[in-house]
């Protein structure tokens, strides 16, 4: 009874919410003021160093957002690996004897690496960029991991942490360096914009992949025994 009432109430609330939202969207779409932001953006696209407006917004106009976004990723990574076991990642059960998976690994991993590289490069003038590349890279890692490749660097150690921090650090350094050069923060020195963005994108790709992979690894598998950690303080 209560359950029914509850579901009824929730449903009603959600429907009302949706309705209100839709009405609001409808109204706004009807009377919205076409802002001048896109024009402004295309006017300034030249100065941004990349051709693709989205990437320009991400890595130049609103690069601060991106910096923080990477920060969020790093945080998630840190919080994740703080949960991770310290024991060896060498888990015999994981190593698969499945030949199909093995073959898949053999064929797909290089392909995916190339794809990641392409996505990264393409971000300058087409949809794509560091995140997409990083995601693909991480997927590669997941594949490897599922195939039983130990990937020692994913053990919570300095290496992992360095990896996590790399992209972020470089981004940060660039931001500060530009200020040392006398410009505003996160302002790229004229002429070097393109180069710097590419550098940033590449390290970011690495870091993003690292974070996602670390998070994947951090989650305990279903029936792993975990007697010691967390149960005592």
Partner 1 sequence: MTLWLMAGLLFTPLAWAVLTLLTDFSRGRLVTWGGILVQVLVSLGLWLTVARDGGFHYGLGGWQAPLGIELRVDGLAVTFVLLTAVVASACGLHAGVYIDPDKPWHRYFWPLFWFLWSGLNVVWLGGDLFNLYVGLELISLSAVGLVALGGKANALRASLRYLLAALLGSLVYLLGVALMYGQFGTLSIAGVVSWLGVHPVPAGSGLALALMVTGLALKTALFPLHRWLPPAHGIARSPVSALLSALVVKASFYMAARLWLELGEPLGNLAAAQLVGLLGSAAVVWGSWLACRQPQLKQVVAYSSVAQIGYLFLLFPLTYSVSESVSLQAQQGITLQVISHALAKAAMFLAAGNLILSAGSNRVDALTGVSRFLPFSLFSFGLAGVSLMSLPPTGGFAAKWLLLQASLGSGQWWWILVMLIGGLLSAAYVFRIYRASFLESAGPDRFYHPARSLEVIPMILALLALGLGLASDQVLSVMALPFEEGGSP
Partner 2 sequence: MTSSLLYALAGAILCGIGLFGLLWLSHLLRKLLAFNIMGSGVFLVMVGLPQHQGGPDPVPQALVLTGIVVAIAATALAVVLIRRYFHLSGMTGLEDEPASPERGPE
Q: Measure the CA–CA gap between 80 and 87, rounded to whole angstroms.
A: 15
Minimum gap (Å) between residue 170 Cβ and partner 2: 17
Give the one entry of partner 2, partner 1, none that residue 31 binds, where binding means its C-beta sits below a cut-off of 5 to 8 angstroms depending on kind. Answer: partner 1
Minimum gap (Å) between residue 163 Cβ and partner 1: 11
Both tokens of 30, joined, read 């009807």
The correct pick among 3, 35, 191, 222 for binding partner 1 (CB under 8 A) is: 35
**Cα distances (Å, whole numbers) of residue 219 to 83, 85, 222:** 8, 9, 9
Both tokens of 177, joined, read 């360096």
Which of 97, 158 has the CB closer to partner 1?
A: 158
Minimum gap (Å) between residue 87 Cβ and partner 1: 12
Q: Is 165 exposed, middle or buried (0-12, 13-18, 19+ CB in 10 A)?
A: middle
Which of 100, 184 has the CB closer to partner 1?
A: 184
DSSP 128: -
32 contributes a contact to partner 2 by CB under 8 A? yes
110 contributes a contact to partner 2 by CB under 8 A? no
End-to-end CA distance of the chain: 43
Q: Measure the CA–CA gap between 205 and 221, rounded to whole angstroms.
A: 26
Positive or negative: CA dihedral 205, 206, 208, 212: positive
Minimum gap (Å) between residue 5 Cβ and partner 1: 17
The owner of tokens 């590669």 is 140
Instruction: Kindly list the residues in this chain that would bind partner 2 in the complex (CB under 8 A).
Output: 7, 10-11, 13-15, 17-18, 21-22, 25-26, 28-29, 32, 34-35, 37-39, 41-42, 53-58, 62, 65-66, 69-70, 72-73, 75-77, 79-80, 83, 129, 131, 135, 208, 211-212, 215-216, 218-220, 224, 226, 230-231, 233
């Amino acid at each position: 009874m209560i359950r029914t009432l509850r579901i009824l109430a929730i449903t009603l609330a959600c429907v009302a919410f949706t309705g209100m939202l839709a009405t609001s969207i409808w109204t706004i779409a009807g009377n919205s003021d076409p802002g001048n932001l896109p024009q402004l953006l295309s006017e300034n696209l030249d100065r941004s160093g990349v051709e693709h407006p989205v990437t320009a917004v991400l890595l130049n106009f609103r690069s601060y957002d991106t910096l923080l976004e990477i920060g969020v990723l790093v945080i998630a990574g840190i919080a994740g690996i703080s949960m991770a076991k310290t024991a060896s990642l060498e888990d015999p059960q994981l190593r698969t004897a499945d030949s199909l998976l093995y073959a898949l690994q053999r064929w797909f991993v290089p392909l995916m690496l190339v794809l990641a590289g392409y996505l990264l490069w393409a971000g300058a003038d087409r949809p794509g960029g560091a995140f997409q590349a990083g995601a693909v890279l991480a997927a590669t890692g997941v594949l490897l991991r599922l195939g039983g490749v130990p990937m020692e660097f994913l053990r919570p150690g300095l290496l992992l942490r360095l990896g996590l921090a790399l992209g972020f650090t470089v981004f940060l350094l660039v931001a500060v360096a530009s200020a040392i050069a006398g410009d505003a923060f996160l302002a790229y020195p004229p002429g070097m914009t393109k180069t710097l963005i590419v550098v940033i994108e590449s390290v970011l790709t690495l870091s993003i992949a690292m974070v996602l992979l670390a998070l994947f690894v951090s989650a305990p598998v279903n029936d792993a025994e975990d007697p010691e950690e967390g149960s005592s303080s």
